[in-house]
Homo-oligomer: A and B are copies of this chain.
Amino acid sequence: MPYPAWLPFLLETPDLTHVSTPLELAQKEINLGLQALSAGIKGKVTCDPALPRDAYRIVKSEQTVQVHGGSCGVLYGTYEVLMALREERDFPEGLQTPQYPDRMVNCWDNMDGSIERGYAGKSLWFSGGRLQYDEQRILQLSRLLASVGINVICLNNVNVHEPAQDLIDLQLPDLSKLAALFRPFGIRLMISIDFSQPMRHDLSTADPLSHEVQAWWKNRVDLVYREIPDLYGFLVKADSEHRPGPFTYGRTHAEGANMLADALASHGGKLVWRCFVYNCTQDWRDRKTDRPCAAYDTYQPLDGQFRENVILQVKHGPFDFQVREPISPLLLSMQSTNLAMELQLAQEYTGQQIDLYTMVPMWKELFQVLPKDRLCAIAAVSNLGASDCFTGHPLALCNLFGYGKIAWNPSLASGDVVRSFVRLSYDFSQEDRESLTGCMLESRAIYEKYTANLGLCWMITPNQHYGPNPDGYEYQSWGTYHKADRNAVGIDRTGSGTGYTLQYPEALRELYANVASCPDELLLFFHRLPYTFVMRDGRTLMQRLYDDHFEGLARAEQLTKTLCALPFPERDRQEIQRRAALQVSNAREWCDIINTFFHRFSGIPDEMGRTIYD
Contact = CB atoms under 8 A, between A and B. Distances in A.
A444 B27 CA distance: 78
A487 interface: yes
B602 A483 contact: no
A459 to B, nearest CB: 11
Contact of A601 (B284, B285, B486): B486
Given A468-B475, A470-B471, A485 B614 contact: yes
Contacts of A284: 593, 613
A176 to B, nearest CB: 38
Nearest to A603: B486
Q: Is the interface of A mostly helix, strand, loop or mixed?
A: loop
A492 interface: no
A471 B287 CA distance: 21
Contact of A486 (B472, B483, B600): B600
A150 interface: no
A469 interface: yes
Contacts of A589: 475
A261 B487 CA distance: 60
Give the one of A285, A472, A601 with max B CB within 10 A. Answer: A285
A592 interface: yes
Nearest to A286: B613
A613 B487 contact: no
B485 A601 contact: yes
A484 interface: yes
A603 B487 contact: yes
Interface in A452-487: 468-472, 475, 483-487
A387 B596 CA distance: 45
Nearest to A593: B475
A243 to B, nearest CB: 24
A614 B284 CA distance: 10
Nearest to A483: B614
A604 B284 CA distance: 21
A600 B484 contact: yes
Contact of A592 (B285, B613, B614): B285
A601 B484 CA distance: 9
Contacts of A597: 471
Give the one of A471, A472, A475, A599 with max B CB within 10 A. Answer: A475
A591 to B, nearest CB: 11
Interface in A561-614: 589, 592-593, 596-597, 599-603, 613-614
B600 A485 contact: yes
A584 to B, nearest CB: 15
A14 B73 CA distance: 83
Interface string A113-155: 0000000000000000000000000000000000000000000
Contact of A613 (B285, B596, B599, B603): B285
A87 B70 CA distance: 92
Give the one of A486, A589, A596 with max B CB within 10 A. Answer: A486
Contacts of A468: 475
A603 B485 contact: yes
Interface in A428-451: none
Contacts of A602: 486
Interface string A181-196: 0000000000000000
Nearest to A470: B471
A321 B408 CA distance: 60
Given A468-B475, A469-B475, A600-B601, 12 more contacts: A284-B593, A285-B613, A469-B472, A471-B472, A472-B472, A475-B593, A475-B596, A485-B600, A485-B614, A486-B600, A486-B601, A486-B603
8 contacts: A287-B614, A468-B475, A469-B471, A470-B471, A475-B589, A485-B599, A486-B600, A487-B603
